[in-house]
Amino acid sequence: MNHQPFEEWLLLDKNLTPAETRELDLHLRTCTHCTALSATGLALRSAPVVAPAAGFTLRFQQRLAAQKIAERRRKLWGMIVLLLSGVGLLGWLTAPYLFAFFSAPVEWVTAAIGYFLFVVTSLQALTEVMAVLLRMVTEFIPPYIWMVLVSALAGLGLLWTISIWQFSRTPQGVSA
């Protein structure tokens, strides 16, 4: 079916003469395509175009700023809640010890000092043991073995350095 010129009339929203209107009416009775087009045009023309109310941009910006402030406040409150719950949990965990401490401070202080002394003396004993062991090892192993060990280590280090140097020197790609 030929939709011209009716399609063009409908799309361009042309002012029609009475003869053209009759012609269009006749075509629309038989053509669903142009009827749909005409209906769409009518719907579009009847749809009210709402102009933004005065000060729309300003209000939008204000609302955006308010939302940002609200979000910041929410974050702050979240942090406060987190901090308080953390402190509460810490207090709940340490409360028994604090109670014990305040009910018998002297015992606790002496216990703490005793523990501290125990740690210090243990560390001292440990370092002494280590020193003795080290001295034993150095006395046990003869000097020439030390020399062999040191030179072996030095040789290994040298080998390692050379291998890395060789590796990094390896030409990339094909060379003549």
Applying CB under 5 A, the residues found at the interface with Zn ion are: 3, 31, 33-34
Closest distance between Zn ion and the C-beta of residue 35, in Å?
8
Shorter beta-carbon distance to Zn ion: residue 9 or 31: 31
Distances (CA, A) of 69 to 19, 49, 57, 60, 83: 65, 33, 18, 14, 21
Minimum CB separation of residue 3 from Zn ion in Å reads 4
Nearer to Zn ion, 35 or 108 (CB): 35
> Whole-number minimum distance, CB 30 to Zn ion, in Å?
8
Q: How far is the CB of 62 from Zn ion (least distance, A)?
A: 51
Tokens of 161: 């350095």
Q: Please, which residue, 36 or 164, has the CB nearer to Zn ion?
A: 36
Q: What is the DSSP letter of 176?
A: -
Which lies closer to Zn ion via its Cβ, residue 5 or residue 101? 5
The kind and range of the H/E element at 20 are: helix 18-30
Report residue 96 as tokens.
Answer: 């028994």
Please give the Cα distance from 21 to 31 (Å, whole number).
Answer: 15
Vertex 21, ends 17 and 25: CA angle to 5°?
A: 170
Task: Decide: 10 and 34 in contact? Cβ < 8 Å.
Answer: yes
CB 13 within 8 A of CB 41: yes
Residue 28 beta carbon to Zn ion: minimum distance, rounded to whole angstroms: 8
DSSP H/E element including 3: none
In this complex, which beta carbon is closest to Zn ion, that of residue 33 or of residue 63? 33
